[in-house]
Structures are given as C-alpha cells and as structure tokens.
Amino acid sequence: MAFDWSEFCKRIKHFFDFAARRRELYKKWDNLAENGDEEARYKLLMLYQEEKEEYYPLAFKWTIIVANKGDDCGVMLQAAEMYAQGQGAPQNEEKALLWFERALSLHILQGKRSPLSVEAANYIQKRIQQLRVKLGKEPGNDSF
C-alpha cells in the first residue's frame, strides 16, 4: 500500500488550523452546556474575556443563561457590560441598567461572600447612576 501524501497533507493542515480546532472545541462545549454541564457553561461565558468578537454571541448566550439563575453577581455584571457595549447582542442600555442593578443587589445580599471587590461594587454604582441619568430614570423622576 502506497503512502497517501494528500491525506497526510490534509491532516497536517488541520493540525495547524488552530481557529478550526478552537471552533470545534467551543461547539463541543456548547453541546455539553446544552445538556446541563455547568463547567462548560462557565467556559463559554468566559470567551467574552478571552476571545475575539467572533465568539461574543456564544459568550453572551451562556452569560444570560447563567445570569438568569440569579446566584452569580459577577456573571450578572458581565451581562450588564455586554448589553451596555453591544457585544454579543444589540446594545440595550435599559437591559444593561437592569443587570447592573441585579448585580449590585446580589452583591449586597451576599455581603462578605460576594465575589465582587469593593472597587467593582463602586464601579457598578457609578454605571447605574450614569445610565439612570442618561435614560431619565433618576430617583424622583419615575413615571409610575
């Protein structure tokens, strides 16, 4: 049997196609996450901080799913930032404000158990104030 150089070249090319291998890995993680694998969900939502814009929609998908569970203020903060910046989803300052408020509320409820630093909490408060002013939602300006 003769050596198949074309097959060998294809395998070498695939081996060095890191982008394709990365996409395959993220697809595998996405399937695991769909089946309830928490570690895969967190790996995917961290793509927002670790990868390029190409992967923001996938990171956003899992950020929102995990944030909606309501027990991780760090992920809620990431959801707020993604909405505020329009990264992974259309920019939506109303939803950004909602997620900033949820993150701060959970941070306060968790107290010393919160994963957020004092600096992060101060940043969130600042962003909430900025967005409330921008959106016309300052205290006393509510139209109920």
Report the CATH number that the domain containing residue 80 is assigned in CATH. 1.25.40
Domain that holds residue 91: 8-135
User: Domain for residue 114, yes or no?
Assistant: yes
Which ranges of the chain have pLDDT less than 50?
A: 144
Tally the domains of the chain: 1
The tokens describing 42, both together, are 């967190």
2 falls within a domain: no
Residue 141 has what pLDDT? 56
**Residue 142 within a domain:** no
109 lies in some domain: yes
For the entire predicted model, the pTM comes to 0.82
Residue 65 is assigned to a structural domain of this protein: yes
Burial class (CB in 10 A: 0-12, 13-18, 19+), 4: exposed
Residue 100 belongs to a domain: yes
On whether the CB atoms of residues 87 and 60 are closer than 8 A, the answer is yes
Is residue 121 in a domain?
Answer: yes
pLDDT at residue number 144: 43
Is the separation of the CB atoms in 57 and 41 below 8 Å? no
* Domain assignment of residue 144, yes or no: no
Hey, what are 107's tokens? Answer: 């941070």
